[in-house]
Chains A and B, each alone.
Chain A
Amino acid sequence: MERDDLIVNDSYALNSHHSEEEGAKIRKNIWKVTGILTLLTTVEVLMGIYFKRSETFTWTMIKWSFIILTLVKAAYIVLVFMHLGDERSNLKKVIIAPYMLFIGYLIFIAISEGFGHLGNFNTLH
């Protein structure tokens, strides 16, 4: 019996071809994103060297900036380098929604169960 569930032609791959001019535009965007990623990493490293862990409000802010900068970097990689930003929105949702759901739940449960000591570290004094 002939199978009708396979998509046999290469139209999706062939359709994504682009011309020399479009290519130049895409490459320009790639280099721009490279610059942004390098800049964000440099900022993170400098912050990491300059600020020491402590029980202060400043450190809490630094910690959150690390996490936010990381999410910004991740978004650039996924949307531009992995071209998810150019895909149909139903594909974006199919990939991102289940991930957010599971990881969100996992982080919630780990945080709500994990903080036995409420931030008091035993260092030597």
Chain B
Amino acid sequence: MGGEATKAISKEVLWGGGRSPFSVSYGKMMMWYFLVSDALTFGGLLTAYGFVRASSTDAWPIGEQVFRALPGLDGEYPLIYVALMTFILIVSSVTMVLAVEAGHRNDKSGVIRWLGLTIIGGFFFLGSQAWEWSHFIHGSGGSFLLAENVTVTADDGEVFNLSKGDPVFMDHHFGHLAEPWIEGEPNVSLVESDHGIKLVEVGEHSHEAELHALTLNKYVENESFVSGDEAMKLWNARSGTFAFGANMHDNEYAIQQAYANFFFFITGFHGFHVFSGVVINIIIFIMVIQGVFERRKHYEMVEKIGLYWHFVDLVWVFVFTFFYLV
């Protein structure tokens, strides 16, 4: 690898004009410059995220408690889904570097195979991200804020002195019906049950959900469950402020709306890069099949789009650490 870059060339010749002093073509150098400026944008976004988080006085959500669902499965799998997405992107980066390597041997069928796999990997990542966004937007039960100060005992015996404005979280069965009930859906009503209260939906999708337990500190530290009469105390002290999932105005995950906004902006901006990368890869893939680079006798274009694709992977490595892990 490296070609001319590994040759010993004197400074006078390198900088004497008529050639690139960096021993790279114009196009490749400009791709590098673009990536530096794009990396500054992402660096700025992640630094802004860190700044807002560090200067926040309320607790900030923990990645492994917000992102712990898998498609089609019940139960908790902290970070597994995000780890899977990371792995998909790393693998597609590997197939891309193999496509570049095949290009250096003028191996057209090799480039087609590896670039094709890279495009498939890109689609898999985009699909995973779509599911994650959908899950984040729909939420897992929702929350309400307290209208007054309450003292409750959790199931493990810990006593909580809660103040007005503190968030309380519902489970996803109850929250699923609480949302239409809050919105005044006529099919859904709140009735007394043997153990407290339940929400009942009549009509086409008739079902009901009992208020079994409410959760405190669901996303910010070790969660505590409150059930029975203690849960009723919390429910009766509720204010009219409910949040289900996340949107641009409110979110169930944090007091700070900035949390949801940063999630949407940082992962969305990255996803937009992945999408553009897939589109560019497809264009070059078609050009490879048509034999454009075979006639040109080199596959440097694959190298250039490869740089962009690796950059997308590189950014995700940082997003993964600073948004999900730390």
- Mark A residues whose CB is within 8 Å of B: 4, 6-7, 10-20, 23, 26-27, 30-31, 34, 37-38, 41-42, 44-45, 47-49, 52-53, 63, 66-67, 69-70, 73-74, 77-78, 80-83, 86-88, 90-91, 94-95, 98-99, 102-103, 106-107, 110-111, 113-117, 120-125
Contacts and interface: CB of A to CB of B under 8 A. Distances in A.
Given A18-B104, A34-B91, A95-B32, 18 more contacts: A12-B24, A12-B28, A26-B1, A34-B90, A41-B87, A70-B321, A80-B97, A81-B97, A86-B1, A86-B6, A88-B23, A91-B23, A107-B47, A110-B47, A110-B50, A110-B54, A113-B55, A117-B57
A11 B63 CA distance: 49
Contacts of A10: 25, 296-298, 300
B240 interface: no
B188 interface: no
B104 A16 contact: yes
SS class, residues of chain B in contact with chain A = helix
Nearest to A63: B326
Contact of B59 (A16, A41, A121): A121
B289 interface: no
B2 interface: yes
Interface string B15-36: 0001111111110110011001
A13 B298 contact: yes
A122 B47 contact: no
B252 to A, nearest CB: 15
A86 B56 CA distance: 43
Interface in B40-87: 40, 43-44, 47-48, 50-51, 54-60, 62-64, 78-80, 83, 86-87
Interface string B127-152: 00000000000000000000000000
22 contacts: A13-B300, A16-B303, A20-B105, A26-B1, A30-B98, A38-B90, A45-B79, A45-B83, A48-B324, A63-B326, A66-B321, A77-B317, A82-B310, A83-B1, A83-B100, A95-B32, A107-B50, A110-B48, A120-B57, A122-B58, A124-B217, A125-B161
